[in-house]
Structure 1
Amino acid sequence: MTVRHLLDQPHHDGSELYVPAGTPALGDVVPVRFRVPASATERALWVRTVRDAEPRMVQARLDRADAHERWYVADVPVHNPVTSYRALLDEPGGYRWLNGRGLFSRDVPDAADFRLTVHEPAPAWTSSAVVYQIFPDRFARSGVERTFPDWAEPADWDDEPIGRGPSTPVQLYGGDLLGIEQRLDHLQRLGVDTVYLTPVFPSQSNHRYDARTFDHVDPLLGGDEALVSLRRALHGRGMRLVGDFTTNHTGVAHEWFEHALRDRSSEEAEFYYWDKESDLGYVAWLDVPSLPKLNYGSSALARRMVDGPGSVIGRWLGEPFALDGWRIDVANMTGRYASDDFTHHVARTVRATMTELNPDAVLVSEHFHDAAGDLTGEGWQVNMNYSAFTKPLWTWLVDPATTLDFLGIPTTIPRRGGVSVVETMREFDATVPWKVTARQWNMLGSHDTPRLRTVVGDPRLVEVAAGLLFTYPGTPALFAGDEGGATGTNGEHARVPMPWDQIEAGGGDRWDGRTFDVYRSLIALRRSSRALREGGLRWAVVSDDAVAYLRETVDERVLVVAARAPWAGVDLPRHLVPAGAAVERLYGEGTLDIAPDALRVGGDGPGVSVWRLA
């Protein structure tokens, strides 16, 4: 028996089929559209908006109908900067609510309501971007001889990273920015177009999140000239460069902190939190002594860090560096300590500085859990999407025998069915405006996590995960090496050097050439389809071992089917393919047959398949 599909349910999202493109202003009235299947029994559809914290109801009007569905439209006044709304279907015997999480025959809180926002989204280029994260020490050596600092423990390029222990932050391989520039052909062959560099400032560690200064690039990486050269090389290829900045803390050897220690009456002393009761005498991020926390109660700190063209944020966006955006490390904790909460002020200030200097720059926050309160779109534009993408997908595809920790939770990664996974994805997605969801940085791992290949075990499931990464709403982001099946048991252990000898040979024990071909093909697939880059999201199948969804624009409909194991298959509505039209296979080997009364999707698995239906 085939599984039941979900396309007989009403639907709405923030994509162009349902909400006009563009950003509304206060006072505008936005017509929003709702799709209801012909089999539904609604007597009327109402839209509940919230204006000045008070709900109001407006009846939607029937716009058009055919044998398969009815479309309703309602006018939503944009009275507040973020205007929330949901649909009410008046039906015999009661009513049901439709919000971002789905359909409910009971009353629900406002957290998952749809949202219109007057704040501009992330720049348009991010909808078609594919982000490639590089940890500079581990990507490539240029061959330029450099003297390692006293704190470093030099490593050979083929050495295994030390995942835990005192040597972990000081094991130095010697990758540099010129090495990255010399390997840009690899990135273009793969198909990525945006490089995200983890920090490049001088420090006392290989990860460089403990900056000693924000005034120049680490000489170990080649200095300022190397960053300028890399940026110019990227721009010359039509690619972009995003930096990484720690607004939350500096390193203990930072020039500001050293000045503050010498002179507690100095301006720099106001930049930090001091704690006479602690052994350190100062507040450190997560009690890590090397990372003293910054205090945004100091207006002078804001001027130096985030406010205006002369700030750190501003300086590196201007020439000659001309970064195309910033990823903000531990953005959720920036400005927050005890009763202090300057986070949203800092985010708005960073955003204003970036808009002044480069309105086309992207601003990405790091936030590992529920980021809804920080993602209205006014400050951070998008988030590294661990909660709504990485973590739920891991639980669906994880090797049942895994012993890996689950990203800060004191347990191993649990294995869950597709229903739980999709409920989690929808629940987190629904807490932010669609224009945020549509450009979130979706990842299968990063420099802070185990590698995907280690999480799932089976290379066929790597392909399933990658298929979802490149077809789901948002901006796909991958960590250098994932495209070759890199492995690693935690974030530090996963920061493996790129095995260039094996890459050039087409494969080896540390480079899977077939996985590279999978990533390359899926990136090309995404670039070939506007629906995959910009379309809405309708869940079609949610079962334990398989999920499927439609990505739709006004001119295209694409079906994505992903399975972690063989499953029963599904019959989808025949009208999804226009009469006389043919289905076009875009990726995968799954089966889809057009019957007189249905589209019959086979139960192949594990695997991922993509078809263009219209």
Structure 2
Amino acid sequence: MTAGHHGGHLLDRPHHDGSELYVERGTPRLGDVVPVRVRVPASRAERAVHVRVVRDGEPRFVPARLDRSDEHDRWYVADVPVHNPVTQYRFLLDEPDGYRWLDGRGLHARDVPDAADFRLSVHAPAPRWLDDAVVYQVFPDRFARSTGHDGPPRGPLPDWALPAAWDDEPIAAGRGVAQQLFGGDLGGVEAHLDHLQRLGVDTLYLTPVFPARSNHRYDATSFARVDPLLGGDAALASLSAAVHARGMRIMGDLTTNHTGAGHEWFARARADRTSPEAQFYYWTEQDPGYVGWLEHASLPKLNYNAPELAARMVEGDASVTAQWLRPPFSLDGWRIDVANMTGRYRADDHAHAVARAIRATMARINPQAALVSEHFHDAAADLLAGGWHVNMNYSAFTRPVWTWLAEPGTELPFLGMPVPLPRRDARSMVATMRDFDATVPWSVTRHQWNMLGSHDTARIRTVVGSREAVEVAAALLLTYPGTPVVFAGDEGGLTGTNGEHARATMPWAQVAAGGGPRWDGATFATYRRLIALRRSSRALREGGLRWAFVEPDAVGYLRETADERVLVVLARDAWPGTRLPRALGVAGEVLHGGAALTTGPDGLVVPATDGPCARVWRLT
């Protein structure tokens, strides 16, 4: 993928994605025939276009017919039979100098493997409300206290807790990381819902709320109730009612892979090896006598060979999965912790069965509930099986964005790898995005949970090093296909060097004052404008994605629906601008960034930048 200044664009290449311009929206059934379209620029000299469909493992060719044409493009359409639950296809262009393949990674003048083929899936996609959603992640211990005081938490505390004042710095590593207790609770979240609505988000995602022996609560001691430190069941019911009264949604966080060592199931299992619960875990001859998640003795791993475990955890109306979706809690879905490891141990692999069971249970109680997996690397195989709707999109979004926008010379570790975070050019970023996006259907891509960071990573402000670079990152988050997720505090420029250090408290007095040492009011205003921009544009929420140009320090892409075309240009540094072809239309409304887009004799003139910046225009 190459591009240069003043005319070095990527818009002279054929294009297809799964958005409405190319594939009618809807979930096909086995036996359906789905028309798929491809756009071929008029500058090309194709003699014919075919679609290669993989049917029962064997490639077959379907001729495409010319559907319409104008001075800029020719549009071809071919009928793809949906013969398998996931039907793969790609386009073959017969050109005078040889054939070319078009797949999700782009155009190739050589043979390529099937991994990046386009896909039609009979599995229902995530609920349509995710089209419009902007998600706000809250780590309850660090968001707000219902009491409002700033000293150490009041009242009796558990024996594991190390109480901290609200303005203390989170411990980044070593002793006390999981025990430092700031005392945020669900009542505190409810008291600050105005902040969420002022920002413009509409979906609240809470990390675990079950009782545990840590501040993160991924080591649950029960799935049957809410931690009293957070206010108990009544606090979650009240928060859910308040969220729904505002027309918002609320999602929970569930560990299907493990429990805590203090969990009531595990206590019964250890006390009586003949109990049903004893079958819920993996036992070994080595210390500590059972399998822990990533060898952590505090997190014994669940064994889905036990039918009773599936019944209690994921199957049926009495399961943990179901309990919290019903009133009075009425969660609108689950994010599943370490979903990639759930049900997997040595020769056992129940991951897809567990995911499908969760989805089926959720669908019976709330057909509009969303199911999101946590998976830090390549999740493609798990996203094709009819289980998880979408994934927390570290691989196709967070990681490549970090490498492009990382502060020069940073020594931050790179998301769990034993190497520092590299700084790479935009060609690397875009190639990585396309590689991973191409392995899942568009019905997944359009709802993937895209993040600039989370409670498990460094803060984006620390990664990129400046307010201006944060704006570029936030603009990418809020204009790229998928569901944007904002970790509470990123909208005000909170900092943190790793996941634990990033779990900083919200400085509410500074938020109320519009700024302060820990709260950047200008960054908050930027996030608010960009969220409002996304809400104002159907193309930014639902449109396809066409890369217009990719240069080391700048990228441009189009988001397109049948009724709107939006151009996004992002630069990480000073950049001399470029020109794009007249086929895109004429300069239209400036949506973000201030600078005007002009129309010259050779096409659209994209203005230069003198530093990091984000610009968005609606074309006419």
Q: Do both share a fold (TM > 0.5)?
A: yes
TM range (shorter): over 0.9
From 410, 414, 421, give the equivalent of 1:413.
421
For the residues of structure 1 that align with 2:553 and 2:594, how far apart are their CA atoms? 17
CA contact (8 A) 2:139 2:206 kept: yes
Offset, 1:3: 5.6
Query: By how many angstroms is 1:392 displaced?
Result: 0.2
Q: Deviations over 1:294-325 (max 9, x none)?
A: 00011100000000110000011111111000
Contact 1:3 1:568 in 2 (8 A): no
Structure 1 position 62 matched with structure 2 position 66? yes
Pick one of 607, 616, 620 that aligns with 1:610.
Answer: 616
| 2:195 aligns with one of 186, 193, 198 | 186
Tell me the SS of whatever aligns to 2:44: coil
Q: 1:200 aligns with which of 209, 215, 229?
A: 209
Structure 1 partner of 2:604: 599
Amino acid at match of 1:181: E
Equivalent residue for 2:151?
none
- In the other structure, the counterpart of 2:561 is 553
Distance 1:408 1:499 in 2: 28
Kept in 1, the 8 Å contact 2:590–2:596? The answer is no
| 1:10-39 CA-partner distances (Å, limit 9, x unpaired) | 000000000011111111000000000000
Are 1:113 and 2:117 matched, yes or no? Answer: yes
Alignment of 1:288-307 (within 5 A): 288-307=296-315
Q: How does 1:97-496 map to 2 (within 5 A)?
A: 97-143=101-147, 145-276=154-285, 278-376=286-384, 378-496=386-504
Whole-angstrom CA distance in 2 between matches of 1:478 and 1:16: 27
Q: Which amino acid aligns with 1:609?
A: R
AA partner of residue 601 (structure 1): V
The answer (yes or no) to whether the contact 1:364–1:380 under 8 Å persists in 2 is yes
SS in 2 for 1:71: strand
**For residues 355 and 590 of structure 1, what CA distance do their matches in structure 2 show?**
47
Map 1:477-556 to 2 at 5 A. Answer: 477-556=485-564
- TM-superposition CA deviations, 1:150-177 (whole Å, max 9, x none): 1100000000000101201000000000
8 Å CA contact 1:3, 1:569 repeated in 2? no
Specify the code of the residue in structure 1 equivalent to 2:619: L
2:592 aligns with one of 587, 590, 596: 587
Q: What is the deviation of 1:574?
A: 1.4
Q: Distance in 1 between matches of 2:282 and 2:378?
A: 26
Q: Distance in 1 between matches of 2:6 and 2:142?
A: 47
Check conservation: 1:252, 1:291, Cα contact below 8 A.
yes
Q: 1:77 aligns with which of 75, 78, 81?
A: 81
Tell me the secondary structure at the aligned position of residue 500 of structure 2: coil
Per-residue CA shift, 1:218-239, capped at 9, x if unaligned? 0000000000000000000000
Question: In the alignment, which of 2, 15, 21 is matched to residue 17 of structure 1?
Answer: 21
Q: Contact 2:568–2:616 (CA<8 Å) still a contact in 1?
A: yes
Give, in whole Å, the separation in 2 of the partners of 1:286 and 1:374.
20
The Cα offsets for residues 230-251 of structure 1, whole Å up to 9 and x where unpaired, read as: 0000000000000000000000
| Structure 2 length-normalised TM | 0.98
3-state secondary structure, aligned to 1:243: strand
- Secondary structure of the residue aligned to 2:324 is helix
Amino acid at match of 1:132: Y
Q: Report if aligned partners of 1:201, 1:213 keep a CA contact under 8 Å in 2.
A: yes
> What does the per-residue CA deviation read over 1:263-290, in whole Å, with 9 as the maximum and x for residues that have no partner?
11110000000111x2111000001110
CA deviation digits over 1:34-75, x for unaligned, max 9?
000000011000100000000000110000111111000000
3-state SS of paired residue (2:310): helix
Helix, strand or coil: the match of 1:258? helix
Distance in structure 2 (CA, Å) of the matches to 1:93 and 1:559: 32
Q: How far did 1:591 drift?
A: 4.2
Distance of 2:32 and 2:289 partners within structure 1: 53
Q: Find the residue that maps to 1:159 and give its secondary structure.
A: coil
Paired residues of 2:468 and 2:613 also in contact (CA < 8 A): yes
- Deviation per CA, 1:520-549: give whole Å up to 9, x if none: 000000000000000000000111000010
TM-score, structure 1 length as denominator?
Answer: 0.98
> What residue number does 2:48 align with?
44
- DSSP 3-state at the match of 1:393: helix
In the TM superposition, 1:571-582 aligns within 5 A as 571-577=579-585
Contact 1:590 1:608 (C-alpha < 8 Å) held by counterparts? no
Q: What whole-Å deviation, never above 9, does each CA across 1:412-441 have from its counterpart, x for those lacking one?
A: 000000001100000000000001000000
* Cα displacement string for residues 466-520 of structure 1 (whole angstroms, at most 9, x for unaligned residues): 0000000000001000000000000000000000010011101100000000000
User: For the residues of structure 2 that align with 1:294 and 1:568, how far apart are their CA atoms?
Assistant: 56
In 1, distance between residues paired with 2:63 and 2:397? 35
Matching residue's letter, 2:355: A
SS in 2 for 1:169: coil
Quote how far apart the aligned CAs of 1:409 are: 1.1
Distance 1:398 1:245 in 2: 32
For residue 596 of structure 1, report the CA deviation from its aligned partner: 2.8
Paired amino acid for 1:382: V
SS of equivalent residue, structure 1 residue 549:
strand
Quote the RMSD (CA, aligned, Å): 0.9
Select the residue among 85, 88, 91 that pairs with 2:95. 91
Structure 1 stretches (4+) deviating beyond 6 angstroms?
none
SS of 2:16's equivalent? Answer: coil
Q: Is the contact between residue 87 and residue 97 of structure 1 (CA under 8 Å) also seen in structure 2?
A: yes
CA shift, 1:377, in A, is 5.6
SS at match of 2:387: coil
8 Å contact 1:3–1:543 — kept in the other structure?
A: no
SS at 2:419 equivalent: strand
Task: List runs of 5+ in structure 1 lacking aligned partners.
Answer: none
TM-superposed CA distance for 1:93, in Å, is: 2.6
Contact 2:352–2:385 (Cα < 8 Å) also in 1: no
Q: Find the aligned partners of 2:518 and 2:612 in 1 and give their Cα distance.
A: 23
Fraction of identical pairs, as percent: 69
